[in-house]
């Protein structure tokens, strides 16, 4: 890993990431040239987490462990999606400090406004509306409970345990 440049790594709960990535694949079917339009969540889960196929960027736990191995490296700031959702202003202040930006309330307020979920969902430069679906769906923490079965949740608990151990 390079020690120059600044890197911001944001980790999301494996269960929410799993559901989000499924919707990413299905909603961007045009990008995937029709390969995902009939993909059910259960088929996706089976392929990614049992057969270990489909995931473009590797499994969640492999990706997380690769990055977390660099904790303590001064040019990498680690954040979580959950913390960003809980207190966006606090996390933006961390980012600004990490990047060496001045503490400016006006700029922070603008970033909070522009980076709000509602604003990004409406922004055609961000929401991938050109692909026929809205790329930015819900932005909620904990939404996995509406999708994952108990068994799927247990499988992802095992992945989470590998990372937090």
Residues facing residue 9 across a β-bridge: 78
Is pLDDT larger for residue 31 or for residue 40?
40
Residue 8 predicted with pLDDT over 80? yes
State how far the Cα of 151 lies from the Cα of 139, in Å rounded to an integer: 24
- 3-class SS at 95? helix
Q: What's the confidence (pLDDT) of residue 43? A: 87
Asked if 70 and 76 touch (Cβ cutoff 8 Å), the reply is yes
CA atoms of 20 and 139, how far apart (whole Å): 9
Beta-sheet pairing, 7-11 with 76-80: parallel
15, with CB counted inside 10 A (0-12, 13-18, 19+), is buried
**DSSP H/E element including 122:** helix 117-122
Please write the tens of the pLDDT for every residue from 94-152: 999 999 999 899 999 999 998 888 887 787 777 666 666 666 777 789 989 999 999 99
pLDDT tens-place string over residues 56-84: 667 888 889 999 999 989 999 999 999 99
Does residue 49 have a pLDDT over 70? yes
In the block, residue with structure tokens 């990413």:
24
Q: Is 101 helix (H, G, I), strand (E, B) or coil?
A: coil
Positive or negative, the CA dihedral 141, 142, 148, 152 is positive
Q: What is the mean pLDDT of the chain?
A: 84
Least confident of 12-26, 55-69, 80-94: 55-69
pLDDT value of position 112: 94
- How much is the pTM? 0.83
């Amino acid at each position: 890993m390079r020690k120059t440049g600044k890197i911001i790594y944001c980790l999301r709960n494996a269960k929410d990431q799993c559901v989000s990535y499924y919707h990413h694949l299905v909603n961007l079917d045009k990008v995937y040239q029709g390969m995902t339009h009939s993909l059910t969540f259960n088929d996706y889960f089976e392929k990614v987490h049992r057969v270990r196929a489909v995931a473009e960027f590797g499994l969640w736990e492999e990706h997380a462990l690769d990055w977390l191995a660099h904790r303590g490296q001064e040019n990498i700031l680690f954040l979580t999606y959950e913390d960003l959702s809980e207190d966006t202003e606090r996390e933006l202040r961390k980012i600004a400090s990490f990047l060496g930006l001045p503490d400016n309330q006006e700029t922070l307020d603008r970033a909070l406004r522009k980076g709000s979920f509602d604003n990004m969902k409406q922004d055609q430069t961000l929401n991938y509306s050109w692909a026929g679906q809205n790329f930015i769906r819900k932005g909620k923490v904990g939404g996995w409970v509406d999708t994952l079965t108990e068994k799927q949740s247990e499988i992802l608990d095992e992945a989470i345990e590998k990372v937090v151990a």
